[in-house]
Amino acid sequence: MMVAESPKLIRVLVVDDSSFMRLIVSDILQQDSQIIIVDTAKDGQEAYQKTLMLKPDVIVLDIVMQDYDGLYAVKKIMQEIPTPIIILSSEGNVHPEVVVEALNAGAVSFVNKPRGILQSKIREIEHLLIEKVKIAAQVPSTKLIHSLKSTNNHPHTFDSRTVYEIVVVGASTGGTGAVEHILLNLPNNFPLPILIAQHIPEKFVHSFAQRLDKLVSLHVKVANENEYLEAGIVYIAPCHANTEIKKNLPTEKLSITLTHEQFPQHNYPSIDCLMLSTATVCQHKAIGILLTGMGKDGAKGLVAMHQAGAFTIAQDEKTSIVFGMPKAAIEEGGVSQVLPLNEIAQFVVGCL
């Protein structure tokens, strides 16, 4: 009789400057039979040294630590021994731009650490943290290595007769870096508005937009209620509501509307909400892009866009940090083209 192989243990390094928090987080994670704590570290320097020595499968890392902080650890580890990192830090104790920078430097995900030292508080997020550790453990280190970024500042000659009115993009885990890569490689005279729904905590969305605005040749901003969409501007969907587009008569101009309607896969922002409204309003005059992310948010919306005649793109498995959302859209028949991340911007330009 064949004996089923037991699942491989996930070896985790826990990093926090609080010895109490290291103990609690370790205890939470080890409640799961698939997770083992290989060691703990008190700052970014020790985290880097122990990663070199122990080669953990996943690192759970606080950002705010004395001397060598979490951002130091993320950058140092990704340069020398790429390892999936989950940021576990209190939103109220860390500058949002630092977390956004850590995510762009290669950290896989962020979990908000409840404020306060009560054990019951930190245990509120135990199921989410365990789930994210398991997902991170499946990410190959090769996907964490960021290639050198180059910006396309050169104008492109576009066909003035293009039928397209808008590009909509959905992204989740690993998406901040993917979105940045695409925008860096779009020309500075891109002729359409771009509207992006990125799963990110509400407190970080403005820092995410501001960082992109400084890096790329296009103007990037957080979208506002009833704002008209202008060509060549990148709008980041706010994270306190779901975002839809509408067409204003008689001008036919597209604008933003916010809704608190709930969607099954994810909310604030819901990628399905954005893409379903795009399918209804723009039909064949839109391009939809679904990037890396866990779960199925965006699959239903991309299918609707595809059925309405829009051109739809999914990021391929090889370059996705997590292939959940693109895979779901592909399996449901909602994708016109599957592309690696480094080809998406050029392909979209070619469509115009």
What are the domain boundaries of the chain?
10-144, 166-351
Written as one string, the DSSP assignment of 309-346 is T-EEEEE-TTT-SS-HHHHHHHHTT--SEEE-HHHHHH
d(CA 64, CA 61): 9
Q: What is the mean pLDDT of residues 182-203?
A: 95
**Given a cut of 60, is residue 4 above it in pLDDT?**
no
Q: What is the CATH number of domain 10-144?
A: 3.40.50.2300
Q: What is the pTM of this model?
A: 0.89
Q: Which of 16, 62, 297, 316 is catalytic?
A: 297
Q: What is d(CA 310, CA 333) in angstroms, rounded to the nearest whole number?
A: 13
Tokens standing for 152? 């396309």
Please give the share of the chain, as a percent, with pLDDT higher than 90. Answer: 79
Q: 251, exposed or middle or buried, with CB in 10 Å at 0-12, 13-18, 19+?
A: exposed
Say how many CA atoms lie within 13 Å of 89 toward its Cβ.
31
Residue 6 is among the residues annotated as catalytic for this protein:
no
Cα distance between residue 123 and residue 114, in whole Å: 9
Q: Give the pLDDT score at 249.
A: 81
**Annotated catalytic residue: which of 172, 217, 270, 320?**
172
121 — pLDDT class (breaks 50, 70, 90): low
pLDDT at 1 over 50: no
Residue with tokens 């199921």: 127
Which helix H or strand E contains 73, and what residues bound it?
helix 70-80
Cα R_g (the chain), whole angstroms: 21
Fold (CATH) for 166-351: Rossmann fold (3.40.50)
| Catalytic residue flag (residue 172) | yes
Q: Tell me the C-alpha distance between 209 and 204, whole Å.
A: 9
Q: Which two tokens stand for residue 108?
A: 């896989």
112: confidence class by pLDDT, cuts 50, 70, 90: confident
Tell me, yes or no, if the two domains 10-144 and 166-351 fold the same way.
yes
Kindly state the average pLDDT of the residues 17-25: 92
Summary mean pLDDT of the chain? 91
How much is the pLDDT for 156?
80
Closest CA to 121 of 14, 240, 10, 20: 20
Number of Cα atoms under 13 Å in the Cβ half of residue 325: 31
Mean pLDDT of all residues in 81-93: 86
- Using 50, 70 and 90 to split pLDDT, how confident is the model at 7? confident
Assess whether 17 carries a catalytic annotation. no
Residue 239, pLDDT above cutoff 80: yes
Catalytic residue, candidates 43, 109, 199, 270: 199
Contacts of 182 (CB under 8 A, 6+ apart): 169, 289, 341, 344, 345
Report the pLDDT value the prediction gives residue 118, as an integer from 0 to 100. Answer: 54
Q: How confident is the model at residue 148 (pLDDT cuts 50, 70, 90)?
A: very low
pLDDT above 60: residue 247: yes
Q: Residue 223: is its pLDDT beyond 80?
A: yes
Q: 3-class SS at 166? A: strand
